[in-house]
Structure 1
Amino acid sequence: MVDVNVTSDIVGRGRAASIPNAWAETFLIAFFASALSVLRTGFVFGLTSNLYHLPIVAGLYDEPQYQNDGYIQSLRYFASGVWLTLSGVEKYFDNVPLLFFVLFFLSRLVSFVGFLCCASLLGVTERRDKIVFSLILCFVAFLDGYSYAGSGGLFINYFTHSEMANGVALLAIYFAARGFYTAAIVAVGITSFINAFFAAWLVPPLALIGIWQLSQRKATIGEISSRVLIGCILCLPLAYVVLRGFLSNPEFGHPFDLANFLRQYFPGHVLFDTTSLGDVVGLSGVTLIGALALFWSRQAAPELRAAYLGIILVYLIGIALPFVTGSPIILNLHLLRSSTVIHLLAALAIAALATNWLRRDREAAFLPACLIVLFVTFDGWPGLALVAAVLIFALRTSVPGPAQSYQRTMGYLVLATTVLVAYPLAIWSGISFSRICNEAVSEWTDVGKWARGNTPMTAMFLTPRRPELDGRAEVSIADMALDRGSVFEFVSHRRVWVDFKRGGSSVLTPSYYPVWRSRLTDVEGLNSLAERMAYAARNGIGYVVDVCQSPDAGNGVVYRTKRLCVFSTGADAPAARKDASPAAERSAS
């Protein structure tokens, strides 16, 4: 006879051992999926929003030449816990590009862990299914770049703090769906530490999950309340750091016509009436795909449906809010940017559905699943329309009966096309784009190094006007170079007169807005290098950076790269000559 107690003890130990094994397996699959995803998107140091982040990492606001620089000083009040933690870190770790890459990879890793945890609620639990699911996610086109009609970062090719919150938000939804409300609130607290308004978006989805579980008597109000309270207490240190960051800003809460400013700057996160029709169609397509996959699938977890409805509600509130209030604090919640979470949950749902349909016991759904796997790699509304069409057809017919042999053959042909053609093309596209970006950043890095070694500490630079790249079918490498100057000030530790993107700091310190608007208006009215040089000289700007017009660059060039030329206006020439070394002079010549 076998002792029942001994048998139960062995089974219990086996189940306990399987939990860490399952987590280890999930983490390992997420790690390799993240590596493939990073290969797909590429990585570039010093792009776009890094214009705000790199001066913080370098601690430029503590350097004497920036004491009266309104833009740099405003960055003291960039109240994300990530940048509050990394403030001045360059003094202790000089390989900032490596630091950014590690954080970039960790951000992607947390996203895949979050996806895999949520996918377990949709039946993706076996090792093979996790691998297939992750592979599909790596190449979902609407996860590449930014969300429609909100411009939230998804799988982008540079590091920012907001994208770190994507995976943590998915984990918050997962924990709430499992009834682990303390863990869910801690995840919301971590999200708040990373990006406060992202955490605000999670409140309605988690609330609807709680309401559904209460309606099904899966939990009581007392249980949920006590667990939420414990989570809130655990999050107090994180909340204190972020709140202290906000309140330390002497201009926090000052009156500011944010809506008017955004129309001049970038309204995409807040004002729906500025959204293009193409973006509206795109987000509608993504939302439809997510709804079809979540609400027509019997395996879909009802908690995820509740979360999906909750985030759609957040977005709808975001559409209406600017018509109700002009409060900067409320509008700064960037509710339209919550389309990020709609994209995340829609990608989760469609990838899980395709994975489930690819199983051997779902032969009748094999061809539709293969078509979905291919079509989700197509960019834009045509791909979304094709995925929706396949879903509607398959779900309406319920794919009855066994699959015909020709259907399975067609499915394998579609999969072969996806793996051998679509996936390599997607990887090549990402690598090519990142190569161009890295080349442009490298040129700006060279200019920055030259400036730091060959110009006085108080030197001022007039950088090129930002080219209009949006909506253009082709963008020259020269234009890319003009638009990739975010790294210059970080490398050079030299002041920049004005830049379009710097206007975003007006949200932090409204007093900077008149300076930015006035300077930008002046600079945008300059239509030639001669006009830019004359303007720079009048305003005491010692150097002008522009695209080299010819191989010999022309008069006044003191340094050049392949595409960028630095011209001296003579405004601080004596100091520049005094500081310049013989080696620098040889480089300039």
Structure 2
Amino acid sequence: MRQFGEDHGYASLLIAALLGTVLSLLSTGYLFATGNNLFHLGIIGALYDLPQYQNDAFIQSLRHYASGPWLILSGKDRTLTVDGLFFVLLFFSRFLSILGFLLCAALLGLVSWRERLVFASVIATCSIMRGLSLAGGGGLFIPEFTQSEIANGLTLIMLYCLGRRNLLGGIILNALVFFTNAFFAVWNALPFLLVTGYWLRTGAVSPRQAMRQIALASLPAMVIAAPILVNIRSNPHCGQPMAVDYLTFLTQYWPLHFLIWSNSLGAIFGLAVIVILGAWGLCLLRPVNPTITLSSLAFVLVYGLGILVPMATHNPAILNLHLLRSSTCLHIMTSLILASLLTRWVLSGDRLERRVLGPLLLLAFCSIRALVPLAGIPLAIAMSPRLQRVARHGIERRGIHAKWLAVAVGVLMLGLWSLYGRQQIATLRLSHQQVRTWTAIGEWARSQTPRDAVFLLPTKDIRPHAPAPYSYAGDSAIFEFTSHRQVWVDFIRGAAVMWTPSYYSEWNSRIWPVLALKTPGQRMDYARRKGITYLVEACTGGSAAFGVDGLCVYATKVPGKPPPSL
């Protein structure tokens, strides 16, 4: 089997990685200040150092958001353009993932220029790497930057090191994973042990060599992991008891990462299909190097633990390993396997593989997720000698039809990609408009309201099957970063309970009453009772202090004037 460096080396690797990165970003687009960026922006702005936040439990909890990239970037909004920074970080994390895929593909024998360029194009556009993983909700190729996606690429590079019997590199890479996303590094322990155990058992690595590499890697790995361990250890809230059973909180907040029964049957079935397709692909690839096979098995076992652990314990430290979210790795491994197989077929000299199996797998794998199960058709043909004979006989007698099959697949894929592109562009435009709106409101609030002002913003229940938000459905993550003004509550802030259990009482006592308010008048009455200074609401008339794009800010008390009526 060919290995990395034996054919064209670094030039083809880097060029293919850049090509894949650009194609992938064109596919997903770029979003800023959405979702979990709420936490990241608070850290970059170092809001916890501002006097108006000294008693804000949520903002203070961000000091203990134990992820290395954000520890480094704390307070950097004073020297960096944050929007541009997030795009650079997204580009870097995507490049790291594509590079990791290419390196692991080298373990499967794909190292030539053509192979790498085709593989990078396929992996950049495959549907099961877009969005979130099924039955676990882990981030794959998503339009916004979060630190977890850096861990995807680092994990793949770690697996490549293991495949080359470089235990030293594998340990250091997993320390970097820990620095980025600690629970991801815990998942990686099992593939590391399985692959290392195989090398020791077969004699490819001697016990003495293994001990030497582990010893050499220990000090740099500890240095890399130390900032995270220190941050966790310094958290005075770590390990504190909660006012409610932890499983109850997870059910209230975001159960998809933790509880298999909270995921839909469709998502569970879809993930099972992905795992089966990966196993079929491995049977067809017959890799000489066992790393990808053993790692895939290891991640299936990790996910199995994620199913069982909540049934055995409600311990927050164990549940916070997000084991069910390791479905991310199942998507990644199957994508690697099928992209490698598709590359072989597309470049094959065999007419059946090039003209029939390749186009069929391309259609199923690189269009939309709903068609992924159809990948079973070309895989079944490839695994069955009888079906192959039938297919080859059809090609020999009607060879021209095989060419038209490839043309039909191309036309159908263009149509599906056009539909997906229009939907993606509409989503991106809406998100960018909402960010501009909330930025404008934040800038007004920063310049026109007292420093200790508190805002009640539209919020939404993010759980599966939750009702639609009561008013403006946009993501307000940018508001607090821009305004430097406190926000009363937001549903997504509940994640802080995972590292600051004491925050649960405040979040729980605020979010459900706010979500229960049905009318603008009810929300205004609530804001007055709680001493909230401003209410942000869909414009309903009355005397708004500020308004933009149909969203208005109402002062709950105006000196010398009657309170506004909504």
* TM-score, structure 2 normalization: 0.92
Change (3 A) 1:289 1:567: same
In the aligned structure 1, how far is the partner of 2:448 from the partner of 2:475? 22
Q: Does the 8 Å CA contact 1:463/1:544 hold for their aligned counterparts?
A: yes
Q: How does 1:157-236 map to 2 (within 5 A)?
A: 157-236=143-222
Q: Where do residues 478-493 of structure 1 align in structure 2 (5 Å cutoff)?
A: 481-493=472-484
Contact 1:270–1:337 (CA under 8 A) maintained in structure 2: yes
Residues 447-497 of structure 1 deviation map (CA, whole Å, 9 limit, x = unaligned) = 111111111111110001316695699x99x97x52411111111111000
Name the CA distance, whole Å, in 2 between partners of 1:16 and 1:147: 30
2:505 is matched with 514
Any residues of structure 2 matched to 1:388-427 within 5 Å, and which? 388-397=376-385, 399=388, 403-404=395-396, 405-417=399-411, 420-427=414-421
Q: Tell me the residue number matched to 2:25.
A: 38
Check the 8 A contact 1:466/1:483 in 2, yes or no: no
Deviation at 1:234, TM superposition (A): 1.5
Further displaced range: 496-505 or 214-223? 214-223
Hey, what's the Cα distance between the residues in 2 that align with 1:484 and 1:300?
Answer: 48
Q: Are residues 483 and 300 of structure 1, via their aligned partners in 2, closer, same or farther at CA, if it must alter by over 3 Å? A: farther
Which residue in the other structure is 1:253 paired with? 239
Aligned pairs for 1:324-339 (under 5 A) are 324-339=312-327
Deviation at 1:330, TM superposition (A): 1.1
> Which residue identity is paired with 1:376?
F
1:84 to 48, 65, 71: 71
Partners of 2:536 and 2:553 within 8 A in 1: yes
Match of 1:567, SS? strand
1:512-570 CA deviation, whole Å, 9 max, x = no partner? 1111100112212211101111111111111111223xxxx400311111131111111
Residue equivalent to 1:272: 260
Distance 1:234 1:407 in 2: 59
Amino acid at match of 1:368: L
| Residues 521, 419 of structure 1: alpha-carbon distance in 2 compared, 3 angstrom cutoff | closer
Q: Write the distance in 1 (CA, Å) between the matches of 2:320 and 2:426.
A: 35
Q: Aligned match of 2:363 in 374, 379, 385?
A: 374
Deviation at 1:443, TM superposition (A): 1.0
What residue number does 1:440 align with?
434
Check conservation: 1:371, 1:414, Cα contact below 8 A. no
Letter of the structure 1 residue corresponding to residue 237 of structure 2:
E
Q: Does 1:355 align with 2:336?
A: no
Measured in 2, the distance between the counterparts of 1:124 and 1:494 equals 53
* Residue aligned with 1:33, SS: helix
Deviation at 1:19, TM superposition (A): 6.6
Q: Which residue, 256, 259, 283 being the options, matches 1:295?
A: 283
Deviates more, 1:316-325 or 1:390-399: 390-399
Q: Which runs of 5+ in 1 are unaligned?
A: 1-14, 575-589
In structure 1, the residue matched to 2:93 is 107
Pair 1:137-2:123 in alignment: yes
Paired residues of 2:538 and 2:551 also in contact (CA < 8 A): yes
Q: What is the match of residue 50 of structure 2?
A: 63
CA distance in 2, matches of 1:472, 1:378: 29
Letter in 1 for 2:175: G
Please give the alpha-carbon distance, in whole angstroms, between the structure 2 residues aligned to 1:20 and 1:364: 27
Q: What is the CA distance between 1:255 and its match in structure 2?
A: 2.5
Structure 1 CA distance for aligned equivalents of residues 229 and 149 of structure 2? 21
Alpha-carbon spacing, 1:247–1:304, altered in 2? closer, same or farther (3 Å): same
Deviation (angstroms), 1:420: 3.5
Unaligned 5+ runs, structure 2: 561-566
Aligned-CA RMSD value: 2.4
Aligned-residue sequence identity (percent) comes to 36
- Cα offset, 1:299, TM superposition: 4.0
CA distances 1:410-466 after superposition (whole Å, capped 9, x unpaired): 343145226633344434432322111111111111111111111111111000131
Count of aligned residue pairs for this structure pair = 550
Would the aligned equivalents of 2:3 and 2:106 in 1 still touch at CA under 8 Å? no
1:587 aligns to what? Answer: none
Q: Give matches, 1:551-562, under 5 Å.
A: 553-562=540-549
- Aligned to 2:377, what secondary structure does the other structure show? helix
Q: Tell me which residue corresponds to 1:242.
A: 228
TM-score normalised by L of structure 1: 0.89
Corresponding position of 2:563: none
What's 1:48 paired with? 35
Q: Aligned in 2, Cα 1:301/1:17: closer, same or farther, shift over 3 Å?
A: closer
**Contact 2:7–2:111 under 8 Å retained in 1:** no
What is the rounded CA distance, in whole Å, between the counterparts of 1:16 and 1:359 in structure 2? 18
Whichever residue aligns with residue 69 of structure 1, its letter is: D
Of 48-57 and 434-443, the range deviating more from structure 2: 434-443
